[in-house]
Amino acid sequence: MHIRTRFAPSPTGYMHLGNLRSALYTWLFARKHKGVFILRIEDTDQSRYVEGAVDVIYRTLRGIGMDWDEGPDVGGAFGPYVQSERKSLYLPYAQQLVAAGKAYYCFCTHEELNDRRAAAEADGNAAWKYDKHCLNLTQEEVQARLDAGQAYVIRQDVPLSGEAGFDDVLYGHIRVDCRELDDMILVKSDGMPTYNFANVVDDHTMGITHVMRGNEYLSSTPKYNLLYEAFGWDKPVYIHMTPIMRDATHKLSKRDGDAYFEDYVAKGYLPEAIVNYVALLGWNPGDDREFFTLPELIDAFDVSGMSKSPAIFDPQKLTWMNAEYIRKLSQADFVRHARPYLSVESGEWRVELLASILQPRVEYFSQIPDMIDFLSELPDYDIELFTNKKSKTNPEISAQVLGFVLPALENLSDWSVTAIHDLLIGMALEREMKNGTLLWPVRIALAGKPVTPGGAAEIAFLLGRDESLKRLRQANYKLQTTNYK
């Protein structure tokens, strides 16, 4: 079989990681089996349309390296690929079902429907559904009303008994009692198809063989299948994906602000890390591999590895994975990604040194400004920072240390990382001090915070001679004048 799959997003805003995963699995499946991957924009519900959302879809998919063989912008033999451009196509299909006795015109007005619903509810029948009222009209009556220009919808005639069911690759056989189904509207009074009808007509007319999508469509699929049966069309293979959860009981929802691809990119996550993480949310390769490039994913992907139970989204795991990707970047690539976050004005040499001390520590790029803010401005720090048990130091010892470190640094002519480092370590050795006992107060004096990327010598080098000496003198003064005993 020549496989044809599609990703059919509705342009309603940014791309959620759940949608991204649907797109990715569908694309991997197509690529793995040398099939066709189609992008279709489902914009029948114009009230939910968000300006610019189609561009977000293109940007996101391209941003992670996905391509499509047919779609709105690349064309194809089954176009157009935007539902609103296919408007005129749907009504004839609905009329075809009417002619075959599988659908019918309904002229009931909103008021009539509301009255009958209210009456049914008053009788204790809460789950009122359309009562097939217009199915009783004779052909002549229908024609007369159409000729008179009366507003109508077209409804599917769902059998009154029996069951509608389908087989899903992951969920098995799903069945629904037809008595629970409504005679769903296929074409609305404005001539536009309903979302469900357009989805089925499009999948069929585009020759889709495999439908992969979120499990929120599981309950609509029996209805879709009744349509396939009514038309006498071949049904696609269905693969509904288990949901991505925020925790054991809550689905990761569109309201979870940080669950959008572009938000993660804006925070400085690498698209390839996001894709890698998302790929493993609901699929596993059958072994313990965790790191995959896109081509490796194509190679390894198999529907049999898709999970039957919901996946839990773990932002920390994503951050961990991103940090691993960052560490593997070449220095040039690291600098390219980091540069927008480096506020340091001067010299390439600084950028390179910064890159080398930041790369092992950065988990995502937008952490950088907070990590290096002390370089542009010394924070207003508390003298208690000079206390550190592990380094066996406190304000008193620190005062002694700065007392001899300061003049030594003032006399140092070669202001390089190595020279500064050697000088400091040499002095610790000479005075039989732990390195930490000497380095801690120097680093606190230079940075004004306990956690910094890089050690005392690197920070002194980055700050430059004048600024370093100024900060050391300030610390010295602070230590001399504060009564900390």
Q: Which residues bind ligand GLU (CB under 6 A)?
A: 8-10, 42, 199, 213, 217
Amino acid code (one letter) for 472: L
The pairing of beta strand 163-168 with beta strand 244-245: unpaired
Residue 210's SS3 state is strand
Name which of 10 and 276 has its Cβ closer to ligand GLU.
10
| Cβ 335 to ligand GLU shortest distance, Å | 38
| Cβ 8 to ligand GLU shortest distance, Å | 4
Catalytic hit among 254, 267, 317, 449: 254
| Cβ 271 to ligand GLU shortest distance, Å | 21
Q: How far apart are CA 409 and CA 423, in angstroms?
A: 8
Torsion of CA 402, 404, 406, 407, to 10 degrees: 160
| Cβ 307 to ligand GLU shortest distance, Å | 19
Q: How far apart are CA 234 and CA 316, in angstroms?
A: 44
Closest residue (Cβ) to ligand GLU?
Answer: 213
User: Do the beta carbons of residue 108 and residue 133 sit within 8 Å?
Assistant: yes
User: Do the beta carbons of residue 472 and residue 441 sit within 8 Å?
Assistant: no
| Cβ 306 to ligand GLU shortest distance, Å | 16
Element (H, E) at 23: helix 17-32
| Cβ 114 to ligand GLU shortest distance, Å | 29
- The tally of CA atoms less than 13 A away on the side-chain side of residue 172 is 1
Name which of 240 and 471 has its Cβ closer to ligand GLU.
240
- The dihedrals phi and psi of 306, each to the nearest 5 degrees, come to -80, 140
Name the DSSP class of 242: P
Name which of 43 and 363 has its Cβ closer to ligand GLU.
43
DSSP conformation letters of 151-197: --EEEE---SSSEEEEEETTTEEEEEEGGG----EEE-TTSPBPHHH
Name which of 196 and 391 has its Cβ closer to ligand GLU.
196
| Cβ 452 to ligand GLU shortest distance, Å | 46
Respond yes or no: is residue 254 known to be catalytic. yes
Residue 464's SS3 state is coil
Instruction: Extract the runs of DSSP E, i.e. beta strands, from 40-171.
Output: 103-106, 153-156, 163-168
Give which of 252, 328, 332, 263 is closest to 291, Cα–Cα.
328
Classify the C-alpha dihedral 421-425-430-435 as positive or negative: positive
As annotated, the active-site residues are: 254
